[in-house]
């Protein structure tokens, strides 16, 4: 079977997914970007001279770079398609969409993963029914509902769930909520969580940062991630561990989470985009990762941290309880509970043997257990078989 995976983001996840299934299918992984959108997770090509449409193989290889090409290991093909911008009401994008869809007609199944507005154009022009859609976020996170453009994904997600196409959801709470709300559509909705993101280990090299920390908070800074609760917890923790080093790394507005009076020598702040190489260094040199989120879906932060065997302390919200075993691979705490957060951090900082044991547990589950990509391949293959069978019956 010839499979196209069309990815609008979450490149780290898509690369793992394609590699896992490349043993069974002839796969083209197609990344969709735009002239004004040139970086996402492990991909960053802001300095590359681009044109719209499909990029040449040589350009694609240059964008991927040595770490990702080594990870791919020639097991599947990666292509890049560049839109003019991210707008659906763009004549240039409409023309590009028609061109793109002609290429998609050559595949047995087309799997769209994630979305930007141009997905609506692709879906409209691609007339056959052999489509699968992965929804990364069924609903919006706290603090993000006021942005004007953000309603488009939620509306499209509702349309997808009510459509005839197969839908994949990546965390159990969203899946349970969706099939409860749409019980008549349960037959075409599948739960397939993504797994450990070991691709980041390929970026670890002699140029990666070696600055050590006790706690790492990383990723895009957003209100729902609860950074302010970690900052409040630091005041308690440093009474027991006065020299604690807390690394905060990621782009976004941190002023509301870290007011000036909370700044201290205990905090190391890198408030900017973090490259994959830098991220690999930061994670490998920390003792634990903390995610004091208010709400969550599935988390690439956890799966990236687990790639380096690092325990994660996280709020018991969203998909965190699905992947973190309390006391075994990390700690789960109530959201907004600064006391429980500080107590959990102090407990781990005071017991290096416990940290090491959690690391061993993580590595074992990533290799052979529910955190391994091998654990999801049969479920994914069933989705494609059902998609093809429905089309044949029609």
Nearest one of 105, 148, 154 to 130, comparing CA atoms? 105
Nearest one of 136, 128, 123, 96 to 109, comparing CA atoms? 128
Tell me how crowded residue 242 is: count the other CB atoms within 10 A of its CB.
Answer: 9
pTM here?
A: 0.94
Under DSSP, the state recorded for 148 is G
Cα(53)–Cα(154) distance, integer angstroms: 27
Predicted local confidence at residue 209, as pLDDT = 87
State pLDDT tens for residues 348-392: 999 999 999 999 999 999 999 999 999 999 999 999 999 998 655
Predicted local confidence at residue 151, as pLDDT = 65
Cα(17)–Cα(369) distance, integer angstroms: 17
3-state secondary structure of 162: helix
Phi, psi dihedral angles at 267 (to 5 degrees):
-100, 135
Predicted local confidence at residue 305, as pLDDT = 98
Under DSSP, the state recorded for 271 is -
3-state secondary structure of 286: strand
Largest CA distance in the chain: 68
Is-contact 21 381, C-beta < 8 A? Answer: yes
Strand partners, 249: 218, 270
Rounded to the nearest angstrom, the gap between the alpha carbon of residue 331 and the centroid of all alpha carbons in its chain is: 21
Nearest one of 17, 4, 10, 8 to 115, comparing CA atoms? 8
**Pairing of the two strands 246-249 and 267-270:** parallel
Tokens of 151: 């309603």
Nearest one of 113, 124, 200, 126 to 383, comparing CA atoms? 113
Domains of the chain, earliest start first: 2-195+373-393 (3.40.50.2000), 198-368 (3.40.50.2000)
| Cα 149–Cα 300–Cα 69 angle in degrees, nearest 5 | 100
| Residues 6 or more apart in contact with residue 18 via CB below 8 angstroms | 5, 27, 29, 76, 78
Predicted local confidence at residue 394, as pLDDT = 41
DSSP 96-124: HHHHHHHHHTTSSEEEEES--THHHHHHH
Evaluate the CA torsion angle 306, 311, 315, 319 in order and state its sign.
positive
Under DSSP, the state recorded for 37 is B
Predicted local confidence at residue 139, as pLDDT = 76
Nearest one of 41, 152, 154 to 86, comparing CA atoms? 152
Residues of the chain with pLDDT under 70: 140-151, 390-394
3-state secondary structure of 259: coil
For residue 241, give Cα distances in angstroms to 237, 327, 335: 6, 21, 23
């Amino acid at each position: 079977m010839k499979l196209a995976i069309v990815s609008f983001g979450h490149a780290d996840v898509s690369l793992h997914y394609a590699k896992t299934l490349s043993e069974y299918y002839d796969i083209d992984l197609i990344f969709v970007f735009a002239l004004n959108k040139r970086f996402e997770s492990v991909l960053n090509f802001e300095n590359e001279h681009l044109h719209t449409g499909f990029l040449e193989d040589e350009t694609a290889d240059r964008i991927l770079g040595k770490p990702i090409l080594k990870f791919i290991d020639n097991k599947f093909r990666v292509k890049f398609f560049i839109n003019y911008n991210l707008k659906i009401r763009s004549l240039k994008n409409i023309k590009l969409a028609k061109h793109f869809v002609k290429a998609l007609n050559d595949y047995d199944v087309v799997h769209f993963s994630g979305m930007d507005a141009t997905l609506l154009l692709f879906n409209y022009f691609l007339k056959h029914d052999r489509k699968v859609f992965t929804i990364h976020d069924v609903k919006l996170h706290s603090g993000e509902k006021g942005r004007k453009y953000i309603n488009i994904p939620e509306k499209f997600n509702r349309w997808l769930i009510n459509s005839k196409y197969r839908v994949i959801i990546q965390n159990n709470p969203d899946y349970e909520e969706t099939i409860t709300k749409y019980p008549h559509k349960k037959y075409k909705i599948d739960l397939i969580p993504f797994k450990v993101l070991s691709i980041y280990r390929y970026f670890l090299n002699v140029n990666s940062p070696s600055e050590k920390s006790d706690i790492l908070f990383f990723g895009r800074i957003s209100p729902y991630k609860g950074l302010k609760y970690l900052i409040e917890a630091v005041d308690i923790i440093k009474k027991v561990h006065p020299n604690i080093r807390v690394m905060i790394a990621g782009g976004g507005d941190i002023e509301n989470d870290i007011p000036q009076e909370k700044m201290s020598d205990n905090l190391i702040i890198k408030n900017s985009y973090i490259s994959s190489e830098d991220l690999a260094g930061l994670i490998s040199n920390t003792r634990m990762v903390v995610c004091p989120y208010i709400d969550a879906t599935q988390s690439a932060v956890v799966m990236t941290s687990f790639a380096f065997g690092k325990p994660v302390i996280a709020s018991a919200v969203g998909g965190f309880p699905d992947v973190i075993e309390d006391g075994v691979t990390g700690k789960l705490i109530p959201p907004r509970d600064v006391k429980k957060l500080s107590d959990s951090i102090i407990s781990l900082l005071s017991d290096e043997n416990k940290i090491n044991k959690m690391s061993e547990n993580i590595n074992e589950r990533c290799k052979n257990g529910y955190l391994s990509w091998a654990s999801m391949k049969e479920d994914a293959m069933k989705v494609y078989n059902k998609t093809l069978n429905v089309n044949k019956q029609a």
